[in-house]
């Protein structure tokens, strides 16, 4: 009888041992020191880009309840923002294991979607398929929540599936249950991209850029506007047939030619930059110190001057460079003086529909603001129709 009790006693001891070795929940130190409160704080901080602070909140939630699924979702996203996708997936697995109820299960699905979107092929080769799988799981539980549709739209957008992305954002607007502002902004961007119709792979990638760099603009001018081909057709070849002394052909000594730009050798868009430098577009030339500064963000005023210069070079109408100088006395844009060096270029672009005011309600042009990829593409499409 004694020996029959031994297995039962040992089982009890083992169970107690396992519980003792498991993660222990910390005692709260204040009324609002709860997992739910810290997850809410962490989500807000994550949205505002304060990654380290968000981590502290999610980690505190996990300390208070080691089985709190939303805490692991947050930690997974923090790992994703830090490009640690192995830890991110591990945290999502824990979130999935501890998820209780439909809301937490959907939060896990959306967490996986966001992680796959962040990492792309670094996380999973068929990452878009994985996103779709998690999307289908979430909508099967509840088809009326906006969040899964929003991130499915983002996944389609960065995969250049613009029509599919638009459908997701429209669905959110139809549901009218949140994410309205975000979906409206994304839908407007997709519409702009579809109107611009980027034809090249480079153009599609740049369409998603929020702030264009000098290298981006060079690539767009070559790949989408085909500026080198346009210039070749419009510009007559010049031949030097003047007399050259035979004696001057041979010069002693060493001479090292400095390249026009010394900081683009390893840049992925070097060929496009070289082509633009050779054409000599105003605002895209190398700087006096022989640097091109390919990663420098361009402003709307600078972009207008580039577009004006292209118009002048292609049409041969030099008068465009001074068309609006001194003839307009009243301010056209509330944030621009008429005597600014880029005023004429802005007027040339806006009167031709190549560029528009940044804020339609106030009429501000925002000359110092950045140019988005979609905006640049649309202006190029309009410019092409005018040649």
Query: pLDDT tens, 285-316?
Result: 999 999 999 999 999 999 999 999 999 988 88
- Per the CB < 8 A criterion, the answer to whether 332 and 347 are in contact is yes
CA distance 95 to 75: 9
- Tens digits of per-residue pLDDT, 226-259? 888 877 766 555 545 555 555 544 444 444 466 7
Whether residue 93 contacts residue 102, with contact meaning beta carbons closer than 8 Å, is answered with: no
- Per-residue pLDDT band for 329 (boundaries 50, 70, 90) equals confident
By three-state DSSP, how is residue 327 classified?
A: coil
Residue 29 reports pLDDT greater than 80:
no
- The pLDDT score that the predictor gives to residue 19 is 42
**3-state class of 364 per DSSP?**
strand
Which CATH architecture fits 23-199?
Alpha Horseshoe (1.25)
Mean pLDDT to the nearest integer, 183-193 = 93
Higher pLDDT, 9 or 114: 114
Does the pLDDT value for residue 9 go beyond 50? no
Domain ranges of the chain: 23-199, 204-235+256-385
From residue 35, alpha-carbon distances to 47, 332, 347, 361 in Å are 18, 54, 56, 44
More confident residue, 260 or 154: 154
CA atoms within 13 A on the CB side of 288: 0
| Four-residue CA torsion sign, 255, 256, 258, 259 | positive
How buried is 372 (Cβ within 10 angstroms: 0-12 exposed, 13-18 middle, 19+ buried)?
A: buried
Give the whole-angstrom CA distance, residue 129 versus residue 100. 25
Say what angle helices 373-385 and 214-223 make with each other, to 10 degrees: 30
pLDDT at position 238: 53
């Amino acid at each position: 009888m004694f020996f029959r009790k031994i297995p039962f006693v040992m089982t009890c001891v083992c169970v107690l041992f396992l519980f003792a070795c498991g993660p222990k929940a910390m005692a709260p130190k204040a009324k609002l020191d709860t997992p739910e409160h810290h997850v809410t704080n962490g989500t807000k901080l994550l949205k505002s880009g304060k990654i380290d602070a968000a981590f502290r909140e999610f980690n505190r939630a996990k300390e208070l309840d080691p089985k709190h699924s939303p805490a692991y979702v947050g930690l997974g996203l923090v790992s994703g923002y830090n490009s640690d996708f192995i830890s991110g997936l591990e945290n999502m697995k824990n979130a999935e294991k501890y998820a209780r109820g439909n809301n937490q299960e959907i939060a896990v699905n959306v967490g996986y979607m966001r992680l796959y979107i962040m990492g792309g092929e670094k996380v999973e080769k068929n990452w878009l398929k994985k996103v779709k799988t998690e999307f289908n799981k979430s909508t099967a539980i509840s088809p009326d929540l906006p969040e899964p549709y929003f991130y499915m739209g983002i996944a389609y957008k960065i995969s250049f599936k613009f029509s599919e992305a638009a459908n997701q954002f429209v669905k959110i607007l139809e549901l009218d249950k949140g994410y309205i502002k975000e979906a409206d902004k994304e839908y407007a961007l997709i519409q702009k991209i579809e109107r611009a119709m980027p034809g090249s792979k480079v153009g599609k990638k740049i369409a998603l850029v929020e702030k264009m760099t000098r290298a981006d603009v060079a690539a767009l001018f070559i790949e989408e506007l085909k500026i080198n081909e346009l210039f070749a057709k419009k510009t007559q070849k010049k031949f030097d047939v003047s007399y050259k002394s035979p004696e001057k052909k041979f010069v002693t000594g060493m001479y090292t030619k400095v390249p026009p730009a010394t900081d683009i050798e390893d840049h992925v868009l070097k060929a496009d930059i070289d082509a633009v430098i050779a054409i000599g577009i105003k605002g895209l030339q190398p700087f006096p110190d022989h640097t091109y500064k390919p990663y420098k963000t361009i402003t709307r005023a600078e972009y207008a001057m580039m577009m004006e210069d292209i118009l002048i070079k292609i049409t041969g109408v030099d008068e465009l460079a001074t068309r609006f100088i001194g003839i307009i006395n009243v301010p056209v844009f509330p944030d621009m003086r008429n005597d600014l060096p880029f005023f004429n270029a802005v007027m040339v672009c806006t009167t031709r529909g190549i560029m528009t005011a940044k804020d339609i309600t106030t009429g501000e042009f925002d000359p110092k603001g950045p140019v988005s990829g979609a905006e640049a593409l649309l202006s190029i499409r309009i410019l092409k129709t005018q040649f």
